[in-house]
A and B are shown apart, each in its own frame.
Chain A
Amino acid sequence: MRVYCDCGKMFEATRAQVGGIVNCPGCDQSVDVPGLNDPVWRAIQCAAVVGILAVTLLVTSFSNVPTGIFCGLGFGLLMWLISRAF
């Protein structure tokens, strides 16, 4: 997992450190490691994929394929934005 510090240094964090905090090897300040390495997080990711497919199929059945894909991608973007909050 690549971590980017505000000091400009890029370094690798281990899988166990995902979602946690590490000290930057460049400036020795704490940096958040984005993401979550969590069973619940995996379930949420699976639910998001199922949700994207469900939204795409649902909108496609009421409208047309491009609108369905557009709405599915919109839903995926929304899920991604929510995930950034963690």
Chain B
Amino acid sequence: MAFHLNEYTIRRKVLKIFGASFHVYDPSGQVIAFSSQKAFKLKEDIRVFTDESKSTELMSVRARQIVDFSAAYDMVDSRENKKIGAARRKGWSSMVRDSWEILDADDRHIASLQEDSTAMALLRRLLSNLIPQKFHLTSLDEREMAFMHVHFNPFVYRMTVSVSDTSIDPRIVFGTAVLLAAIEGRQTGA
């Protein structure tokens, strides 16, 4: 199951005209999930399937609002039809350094996701995608739970996720990673 791996890579599909699509690979290079963003939707709507046939939906990530500024994104396990958590962008702080609050199903703050450093974040904003982004997912007591890093490639967006602490629901980490690939990947123009 895609959610329970400790490491996976999300790669943006090239030559997609409307809406972004991503393949998720396990460390051996096998496709474990396929994600696509619905095109022409006012609110972000990202769906994760078992494969490109889109026959089995695993998860959906949906924005609560149209504007991305301080937007919250709800994650639903499609097999159980149950909300598992949410990610809320911290609008003002994200202008300098991307910061997210990770929430549980009842919108309680359970973890934080941040770009690696303010200096690097500022440099990235000046040099676009030439310096790949790195994110640390930490618990409220500053324990690292997962690390996400974008590979240097000006043409294809590729992000590897390494989960180091399984006390957080792995589906939330997975949904957050897919969301980052869709949202942050678009911001950097990758």
Contact = CB atoms under 8 A, between A and B. Distances in A.
Interface of A: 14, 16-23, 28-30, 36-41, 86
Interface in B21-69: 42-43, 62-67, 69
Contacts of A37: 64-65
Interface residues of B, number: 19
Given A21-B76, A30-B76, A86-B43, A41 B81 contact: no
Contacts of A39: 67, 69
Contacts of B86: 20
Given A16-B72, A16-B107, A86-B42, A22 B65 contact: no
B107 to A, nearest CB: 7
B126 to A, nearest CB: 28
B186 interface: no
A37 to B, nearest CB: 6
B122 interface: no
A38 B65 contact: yes
A40 B66 contact: yes
Nearest to A36: B65
Given A20-B72, A21-B74, A86-B43, A29 B65 contact: no
A12 to B, nearest CB: 13
Contact of A19 (B43, B76, B82, B83): B43
B105 interface: yes
Contact of A30 (B42, B66, B72, B82): B82
A41 B62 contact: no
B59 to A, nearest CB: 11
B95 to A, nearest CB: 16
Contacts of B74: 20-21
Contact of B83 (A30, A38, A40, A41): A30
A29 B80 CA distance: 8
Contacts of B69: 39
Contact of A41 (B63, B65, B76, B105): B65
A30 B62 CA distance: 12
Given A30-B76, A86-B42, A86-B43, A19 B65 contact: yes
